[in-house]
């Protein structure tokens, strides 16, 4: 179970400093420095970095719990990305610098290389928050071997883009840049980085789903039509009950992936299965859940002024990142088929 002090700290910071206006301004390009500074002062972005590498030295479960809260508040900062970068650097025993970070590549077929002189070459697409990051933690190949490199963002060619989430998703060209540090991380490759990153997105999505359930319930109690709150209509109640089920399932599935990574790391068949289950189930819930939330909110939820889209657009954007439902479903299906019919039940119950 995550540390409740860490979760409470995160909740308080987001409550105080991540308001609707903060999210809207961030989307127009204004960096939410008060929010980020408060997070950094409490060491939350370095939850996954051990003490001796400059971090908070907290548990894997704590970091995932922080991401659930961040997702609830549609936090427009690279908290997930900095957590992942810190984790990645720690795998190679590289000390984490302060400041916002991000990771590259975000696709399994990413192909960044490093020469003997620590000079990088290659390009990464859809890098989250690259323009806001002080450093990028990179998984690259050096002499055919996977390594982790710490690269300063200043001086890199960054071409800005925006994802469906409204968050920065930039193209970064690494050609000619020199890594500040390079370390070997045995067994780590873009695919395994994708595993933990998918689990991180699943947590953020579970948080965003919790938010849209809250908003939808409240809206249905406040909005009066035909002389009574629309919450009193059975058709609306059935929709909201359905949404509550999807939200609960998403939370449970996301926890499964987080637990597996905490217990088994990323080089484990159990983790591979649990992440597939989580990203797929949460992705399904995102699609179903966002549709219901919008239906309940009617035209008001379709305006820019309303904050529902802070969460629903992130759900639509995030479900596509680090493998969408189809990718993970096919992969999970192949794991099941390879084991055979009589191993299906043992597969479902593995680890328990």
Partner 1 sequence: MANTFQFDPVELPPECKELRKEVRAFLKQEIDAGTFSPGGGRNENAALFARKVGAKGWIGMTWPKQYGGQGRSQLERYVVTEEMLAHRAPTRHYSTADRQSGPVLLRYGQEEVKKNILPRICSGELCFCIGLSEPNSGSDVFAASTRATKTDGGWLVNGRKIWTSNAHNADYMIGLLRTSNPTPENRRHGLTQFLIAMKSPGITIRPIINLTGLHDFNEVVFDDVFVPDLHMIGEVDMAWKQASAELAYERSGPDRWLETFQSLVELVRVVGPEPSERQAEGIGREVAHLATLRRMSLSVAGMLQAGHSPAAEASVVKDLGTNFEQALPNKVRLMAPVRGDSAPDSNDDRFEQALNYTTLIAPKLTIQGGTREILRGIIARGLGLR
In the complex, the residues that contact partner 1 under the rule CB under 8 A are 1, 72, 210-211, 213-214, 217, 220-221, 231-232, 234, 236-238, 240-242, 244-245, 247-249, 251-253, 255-256, 259, 276-277, 280-281, 284, 325-326, 328-338, 340-342, 344-345, 347-349, 352
Computed on alpha carbons and rounded to an integer, the radius of gyration of the chain in Å comes to 20
125 φ/ψ angles, rounded to the nearest 5 degrees: -100, 160
Nearer to partner 1, 138 or 278 (CB): 278
Q: How far is the CB of 333 from partner 1 (least distance, A)?
A: 3
**Contact call for residues 178 and 118 (beta carbons, < 8 A):** yes
Question: In whole angstroms, how close is the CB of 237 to partner 1 at the nearest point?
Answer: 4
Closest approach of Cβ 348 to partner 1, in Å? 5
Contacts of residue 107, Cβ cutoff 8 Å, sequence gap at least 6: 124, 125, 126, 190, 194
Can you list the positions of beta strands (E) in 70-144? 101-104, 113-114, 120-121, 123-128, 135-142
Minimum separation from the CB atom of position 32 to partner 1 (A): 22
Instruction: Calculate the alpha carbon distances from 287 to 69, 155, 218, 273, 297 in Å.
Output: 20, 39, 21, 21, 16
Contact 222, 277 (CB under 8 A): no
Q: Which is nearer to partner 1, 256 or 317 (CB)?
A: 256
Q: Which C-beta is closer to partner 1: that of 53 or that of 335?
A: 335
User: What's the closest the beta carbon of residue 35 comes to partner 1, in angstroms?
Assistant: 20
- Using alpha carbons, list the distances in angstroms from residue 108 to 6, 82, 322, 327, 337: 32, 19, 8, 12, 23
Give the DSSP per-residue string, 70-87.
HHHTT--S-HHHHHHHHH
Closest distance of CB 238 from partner 1, Å: 5
Q: Which is nearer to partner 1, 156 or 202 (CB)?
A: 202
195 versus 276: smaller Cβ distance to partner 1: 276
Smallest gap from residue 125 Cβ to partner 1 (A)? 24
Give least dist CB 334 to partner 1, A: 5
> Which residues, 6 or more positions from 299, have their beta carbon under 8 angstroms from its beta carbon?
none
Query: Using CA atoms, how far apart are residues 80 and 67, in angstroms rounded to an integer?
Result: 6
Q: Which is nearer to partner 1, 181 or 335 (CB)?
A: 335
Nearer to partner 1, 77 or 257 (CB): 257
Nearer to partner 1, 149 or 236 (CB): 236
Token representation of residue 289: 């859940």
C-beta atoms surrounding 149 within 10 Å = 27
């Amino acid at each position: 179970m995550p540390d409740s002090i860490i979760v409470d700290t995160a909740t308080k910071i987001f409550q105080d400093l991540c308001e609707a206006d903060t999210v809207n301004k961030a989307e127009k390009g204004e960096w939410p420095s008060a929010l980020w500074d408060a997070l950094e002062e409490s060491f939350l972005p370095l939850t996954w970095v051990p003490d001796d590498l400059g971090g908070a030295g907290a548990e894997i479960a704590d970091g995932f719990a922080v991401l659930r809260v961040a997702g609830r508040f549609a936090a427009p900062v690279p908290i997930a990305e900095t957590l992942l970068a810190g984790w990645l650097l720690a795998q190679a025993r590289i000390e984490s610098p302060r400041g916002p970070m991000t990771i590259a590549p975000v696709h399994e077929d990413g192909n960044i290389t490093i020469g003997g002189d620590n000079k990088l070459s290659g390009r990464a697409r859809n890098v989250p928050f690259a323009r806001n990051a002080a450093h990028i933690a990179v998984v690259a190949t050096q002499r055919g071997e996977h390594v982790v490199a710490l690269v300063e963002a200043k001086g890199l060619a960054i071409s800005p883009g925006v994802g469906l989430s409204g968050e920065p998703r930039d193209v970064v060209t690494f050609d000619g840049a020199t890594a500040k540090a390079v370390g070997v991380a045995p067994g780590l490759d873009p695919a395994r980085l994708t595993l933990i990153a998918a689990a991180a997105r699943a947590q953020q999505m579970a948080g965003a789903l919790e938010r849209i359930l809250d908003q939808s319930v409240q809206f249905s109690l406040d909005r009066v039509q035909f002389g009574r709150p629309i919450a009193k209509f059975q058709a609306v109640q059935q929709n909201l009950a359905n949404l509550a089920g999807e939200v609960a399932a998403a939370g449970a599935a996301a926890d499964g992936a987080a637990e597996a990574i905490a217990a088994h790391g990323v080089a484990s068949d159990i983790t591979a299965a649990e992440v597939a289950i989580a990203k797929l189930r949460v992705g399904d819930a995102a699609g179903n859940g966002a549709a219901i939330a919008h239906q309940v909110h009617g035209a008001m939820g379709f305006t820019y002024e309303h904050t529902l889209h802070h969460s629903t657009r992130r759900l639509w954007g995030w479900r596509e990142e680090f493998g969408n439902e189809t990718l993970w479903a096919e992969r999970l299906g192949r794991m099941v088929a390879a084991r055979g019919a009589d191993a299906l039940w043992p597969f479902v119950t593995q680890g328990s």
